[in-house]
Amino acid sequence: MPRSHIGARRLLQGVARTLAGALVLGLATLSVTSPARAADAIRVGEINSYTRLPAFTEPYRLGWTLALEEINAAGGVLGRPLEVIDRDDAGKPGEAVTAANELLMREDVDLLMGTFFSHVGLAVSDFARQRQVLFVAAEPLTDALIWSRGNAYTFRLRPSTGMQARMLAEEAAKLDAVRWASVAPNYEYGTSAVATFREALSALRPDVEWVDEQWPPQGKIDAGATAQALAQAEPDALFNATFGPDLAKFVREGTTRGLFEGRAVVSLITGEPEYLAPLGAEAPEGWIVTGYPWDTVDTPENRAFVAAYQARFDDYPRMGSVVGYAAMKSVAAIIEKAGSTDTDAMIAAAKGVMVDTPFGRITYRAADHQSTMGAFVGRTAVRDGRGTMVDFVYRDGAEVLPPEDEARAFRPE
Amino acid sequence: MDFLVIQALTGLASASSLFLVASGLTLIFGVTRIVNFAHGSLFMLGAYGAWTFTSGLGWAAHAGPLGFWGGVLLSALAVAALGALVEVVLLRRIYQAPALFPLLATFGLALMIEDLVRLVWGPEDLLGPRAPGLEGAVTILGQKLPAYDLALIALGPMVLAGLWWVLHRTHWGVLVRAATQDRAMVGALGVDQSRLFTGVFALGAFLAALGGAVQVPREAVHHALDMQVIVEAFVIVVVGGLGNVVGAFLAAVLVAELNAFGILLFPRIGLVLLFLVMAVVLVLRPHGLLGRPEGETRAAVPPTAGCWRPAGATGWAVGLALAGLLALLPLVADAYVVSVAAEILIFALFAASLHLMMGVGGMVSFGHAAWFGLGAYGAALAALGLGAPMAVGLVAGPLLAVAGATVAGWFCVRLSGVFLAMLTLAFAQIAWSVVFQWHEVTGGDNGLLGIWPDRWASDPAAFYWVSLAVCGVAIALLRSIVFSPFGYALRACRDSVARAEAIGIDRVRVQWLGFVMAGGFAGLAGALYAYLKGSVFPEAMAIPVSIDGLVMVLLGGLTTLVGPVVGAVAYKTLAIVVSSWTDHWPLVLGGLIVLLVIAAPDGLAGLARRVARAASRGAGPGGREPAS
């Protein structure tokens, strides 16, 4: 596991320093020295929920590691090697801020990247604004990060909940279904997914009506009761935003109880290998989903990425791998274009920067700092005893984002 | 109508799952009085074990129902053996420690297991096989119900009957019931308590693991199952009545059915329903559905701990000197150390406020994060809504916390012991869910951003000095409260309610006031925390913060006055240093806690005192001397 550059000596120094600093104070003077570091490396501070959400963040770590090795093998950035110092935030915003503080003040990083949960991403983005440091948010899906609470220092890679829900709504509008019901985890991600999907679908199909909505607590779905309640409302189609263990439970109960028989299901992020693979042969068939069919996307970019990833790690890439890889490449592209690691220069460079990713070339929009990375929209199927996506198309993020001048108005500045 | 029947049956299946976990916990608690925080971890291990035995290894997949149920049983037996081992190696060493101390040991254990599970079984969710022969659905009244749900519905009462038989028809069961009622008497009659405890712990672990194992056909196995289950199980145990297996079954049915039907009317109720039920039950029946008032049991604090002495001139001089020394930190340490030190100070105040409730007032709290969080939100709302400067925010936070604690305290002080503790948890979770849902005011789970200190205090050193001044004064105040007439009254109520009331102390009023004060000081810590982090999220008032507080107080030593501060400094420093060093921090931190528990059953402050005494006067049995 690549845990960068913390030798035993540095560690002991760190322990001694912090203990002394906090406990015995005056004595701290003696042990304070500046950390040893690779000469002239550009330092990137990376924060993610490694212990809280390893199913996503472990592949994510492998993804950025691969990118980092590629970048450094090609001579680094601006002639200097790139170095990553990574920290775990345990899924808690408070700890993410502590980690960001450490990275900035102790490790002297030039910029921050990472985070998974929306609220952790928001906490770090506000920290970045306060401390005037660039933050490349990798995964947090909330629209607030770039719009209502956007700031000059924060850029975001992934297509948001809203963007993915709009992609799905366009597919959903082609169905005959009129009566719809939704099930989504009861927090911001679920709420905004359902709200955006409903709004977008109603705009395209004014005749649809919503007959039920279920809001199980994240991670604690009472799947049997929820599935039964949805069936009772007799919808023509379902919109689902649950994922992870909740999804597995819901799929099992729903399948056994016949909830999905004769009903269309539109489901957010279910096509991502993180969530589809564990279902194995029990993966639902024919659901309209967003995701990443890593083995069947036949573009040169993806083939090269998959080959390099499998050669390096002896495992197949997940969505997290792509996010980690693309986030690292974004950081390199921004610094390369800026020509320095000065924060203002990097922010100026990040606006409109082009980055080559496994999904093709993306750009970070100048108006709202959102990248145009998209997602694959297709239908789930079971092939050789495991879930995959078929009949998919790549939807560019730019197609589902509002025009730049409209988006600019969403931001507080 | 047909639908309602099916929904009720679905609820019963969930009830069986809940009951299986809770039954083991209630047995363990009833007999040993151990708050087994690792019970959820045993559940999770049971699930992982069953996954391995039924599909991970491959052989059982072809063995049909026998292979499946054999795998389930094998997993439960393996975890039972592990439970016995834990009891013998770890818990047996600390039965003489203050009552809540095993909570600390099992907390360390739970941290370790969570990380070990990730190392052994990998990060991905694992989906086990469906139960052979029970894969499909049974059609009842024209509606489909999973056949496996019927099996679960049967399994709950079967286990209940089996437990009832063991407890009422075997010699061992009679001893267990006797120990539940009066441990000391059972010991006096010559029963080997150690063996009894080991047996009960193994049985409890078996039931927990069985609960986890039978969930494999219903849900994916993952590394967060432990935390998901432990709180639910505790609520069921308390709602049913401590140590009462039948009560646990009733409570499980009540909660599961209310949830199954509640979501039809209020789809968002799942977040808080469990705690609403607990609050209502405890307010109406202070000992749970089938619980009975207990005789005097071991208090959380041994009465000898009451002999605290005021610091005196020397003590204050030392305190002031220490504060002066602390004030020099920014001159010698870098900005990161200074901001970490500010965080440690804030948690020292938080732990000290919890100690006022637990150590001084004898009221254990599982929900102290509520006041910390309300303090943080009070400050944040004042800063964002009114544009108030930091000084105002630091007043508004504690005020909001006091308001909340006044309401919750009124209900809580009418209970005692674990019931009081669980009612504080219920209030904390209700407050949390309000904050989580009320997007217009609190920003929901996306929180409130941009609560940074005023310009003059925005430098890490300046903010550190503010924190030092505020926390130092507050901790000194807390200390002088202990030695005020009110403090003596509070301690009297802790040590003996009957005697305190006999000399004319209004127990309810005194404890209520103590509760509110503790809430206010926690709120002050929370307000500072908001400015330290620059943002506030519902996490600030979630269960992990309450647990952190408990861990700090217990680690430092419940029976001393400096203990909580020492514990906060030690725990927070360790947590921050270890997590910045390795991603396997739960394993390392949990292991360190377990070691500390074994080395210092009277807490760090007690350990320090023993070492000091041994150094000055030669060795002697320690730990129960008057503390200062």
Q: What is the pLDDT of residues B292-337, one digit of tens each?
A: 776 554 444 555 555 788 878 888 899 899 999 999 999 999 999 9
What pLDDT, in 10s, does the model give residues B197-248?
Answer: 999 999 999 999 999 999 999 989 999 999 888 989 999 999 999 888 999 9
Q: What is the CA radius of gyration of chain A?
A: 22
Cβ distance of B580 and A102 shorter than 8 Å:
yes
Strand order in the sheet with A375-383: A209-214, A179-183, A237-240, A264-271, A288-291, A375-383, A386-395
What pLDDT was estimated at residue B514?
97
What pLDDT was estimated at residue A37?
54
- Residues of chain B in contact with residue A29, where contact means CB-CB under 8 angstroms, are 332
Cβ distance of B449 and A11 shorter than 8 Å:
no
Domains of chain A: 8-159+300-373 (3.40.50.2300), 162-293+375-400 (3.40.50.2300)
What pLDDT was estimated at residue B66?
83
Confidence of residue A156 (pLDDT cuts 50, 70, 90): very high
B498's tokens:
């009957």
Q: How far is CA A5 from CA A9, A35, A83, B351, in A?
A: 11, 11, 9, 35
What pLDDT was estimated at residue B305?
54
- Residues of chain A in contact with residue B143, where contact means CB-CB under 8 angstroms, are 228
B576's tokens:
């921050």
What pLDDT was estimated at residue B58?
61
Cβ distance of B270 and A215 shorter than 8 Å:
yes
Determine the Cα–Cα distance for residues A283 and A292; give it in Å rounded to an integer: 15
**Is the confidence at residue A24, as pLDDT, over 50?**
no
What pLDDT was estimated at residue B179?
84
What pLDDT, in 10s, does the model give residues B534-588?
Answer: 999 999 999 999 999 999 999 988 888 888 999 999 999 999 989 888 889 999 9
Distance from CA of A400 to the nearest CA of B (A): 23
Backbone φ, ψ for residue B146 (5° rounding): -55, 135
Distance from CA of A249 to the nearest CA of B (A): 5
Where do we find the tokens 């078996």?
B206
Cβ distance of A127 and B534 shorter than 8 Å:
yes
Cβ distance of A22 and B115 shorter than 8 Å:
no
Out of A126, A212, A253, the one facing B146 most closely (by C-beta) is A253
Cβ distance of A119 and B577 shorter than 8 Å:
no
Cβ distance of A25 and B449 shorter than 8 Å:
no
**pLDDT more than 70, % of chain B:** 95
Round the average pLDDT of chain B to a whole number and report it.
89
Cβ distance of A21 and B337 shorter than 8 Å:
yes
Closest CA to B373 of B256, B524, B222, B161: B524
What is the average pLDDT across B363-374?
96
Q: What is the DSSP string of B154-167?
A: HHHHHHHHHHHHHH
A271's tokens:
């096509």
Confidence of residue B101 (pLDDT cuts 50, 70, 90): confident
Cβ distance of A256 and B146 shorter than 8 Å:
yes
Determine the Cα–Cα distance for residues A102 and A11; give it in Å rounded to an integer: 14
Contacts of B620-624 spanning 24+ positions with Cβ under 8 A: B624/B302, B624/B304
Closest CA to A231 of A216, A199, A253: A253
For residue B32, the surrounding DSSP H or E stretch is helix B2-32
- Residues of chain A in contact with residue B224, where contact means CB-CB under 8 angstroms, are 52, 219, 245
Closest CA to A369 of A43, A137, A47: A137
Confidence of residue A193 (pLDDT cuts 50, 70, 90): very high
For residue A209, the surrounding DSSP H or E stretch is strand A209-214
- Residues of chain B in contact with residue A21, where contact means CB-CB under 8 angstroms, are 329, 332-333, 337, 340-341
What pLDDT was estimated at residue B98?
72
Dmax (CA) for chain B in angstroms is 81
What pLDDT was estimated at residue B177?
86
What pLDDT was estimated at residue B553?
93
Distance from CA of B329 to the nearest CA of A (A): 6
Confidence of residue A40 (pLDDT cuts 50, 70, 90): confident
What pLDDT, in 10s, does the model give residues B588-627?
Answer: 999 999 998 888 877 888 788 788 888 876 544 443 433 3
**pLDDT more than 90, % of chain B:** 63
Q: What is the DSSP letter of A35?
A: P
Cβ-based burial of A382 (10 A; exposed 0-12, middle 13-18, buried ≥19): middle
- Residues of chain B in contact with residue A87, where contact means CB-CB under 8 angstroms, are 579-580
Distance from CA of B220 to the nearest CA of A (A): 5
What pLDDT, in 10s, does the model give residues B482-495?
Answer: 999 999 999 999 98
**CATH, domain range B321-617:** 1.10.3470
**Is the confidence at residue B93, as pLDDT, over 70?**
yes
- Residues of chain B in contact with residue A185, where contact means CB-CB under 8 angstroms, are none
Confidence of residue B178 (pLDDT cuts 50, 70, 90): confident
Domain boundaries, chain B: 2-235, 321-617
ipTM of the complex: 0.89
Out of A52, A126, A258, the one facing B534 most closely (by C-beta) is A126
Cβ-based burial of B312 (10 A; exposed 0-12, middle 13-18, buried ≥19): exposed
Q: Which residues contact B616 (CB under 8 A, 6 or more apart)?
A: none
For residue B536, the surrounding DSSP H or E stretch is strand B535-536
Distance from CA of B573 to the nearest CA of A (A): 7
- Residues of chain B in contact with residue A24, where contact means CB-CB under 8 angstroms, are none
- Residues of chain B in contact with residue A276, where contact means CB-CB under 8 angstroms, are none
Contact A270, A289 (CB under 8 A): yes
- Residues of chain A in contact with residue B223, where contact means CB-CB under 8 angstroms, are 54
What pLDDT, in 10s, does the model give residues A246-264?
Answer: 999 999 999 999 999 999 9
What pLDDT was estimated at residue A36?
47
What pLDDT, in 10s, does the model give residues A289-327?
Answer: 999 999 999 999 999 999 999 999 999 999 999 999 999
Out of A3, A22, A119, the one facing B573 most closely (by C-beta) is A22
**Is the confidence at residue B464, as pLDDT, over 70?**
yes
Q: How many helices (H) and strands (E) does chain B have?
A: 26, 4
Confidence of residue B193 (pLDDT cuts 50, 70, 90): confident
Closest CA to A374 of A363, A359, A388: A359
Distance from CA of B194 to the nearest CA of A (A): 37
Kindly provide the residue ranges of all beta strands, DSSP E only, lying in B35-193, ordered along the sequence: 137-140, 143-146
**pLDDT more than 70, % of chain A:** 91
What pLDDT was estimated at residue B620?
42
Out of B222, B529, B573, the one facing A19 most closely (by C-beta) is B573
Contact B528, B470 (CB under 8 A): yes
Cβ distance of A144 and B446 shorter than 8 Å:
yes
**Is the confidence at residue B97, as pLDDT, over 80?**
no
* Test mutation, A65, A218, A228, chain B, max B CBs within 10 A: A228
What pLDDT, in 10s, does the model give residues B12-67?
Answer: 999 998 899 999 999 998 888 888 999 999 999 999 999 998 887 665 556 678 88
What pLDDT was estimated at residue B515?
97
Least confident of A38-42, A147-151, A364-368, B130-134: A38-42
Q: Which residue has the higher pLDDT, B142 or B351?
A: B351
Confidence of residue B424 (pLDDT cuts 50, 70, 90): very high
What pLDDT was estimated at residue B60?
53
What pLDDT was estimated at residue B468?
96
Buried b or exposed e, range B370-403, using 16+ CB within 10 angstroms: bbbbbbbbbbbbbbbeeebebeebbbbbbbbbbb
Determine the Cα–Cα distance for residues A191 and A184; give it in Å rounded to an integer: 7
The identity of residue B385, as a single letter, is G
The identity of residue B53, as a single letter, is F
Q: What is the DSSP string of A163-193?
A: HHHHHHHHHHTTS---EEEEE--SSHHHHHH
- Residues of chain B in contact with residue A214, where contact means CB-CB under 8 angstroms, are 263, 267
Determine the Cα–Cα distance for residues B89 and B98; give it in Å rounded to an integer: 18
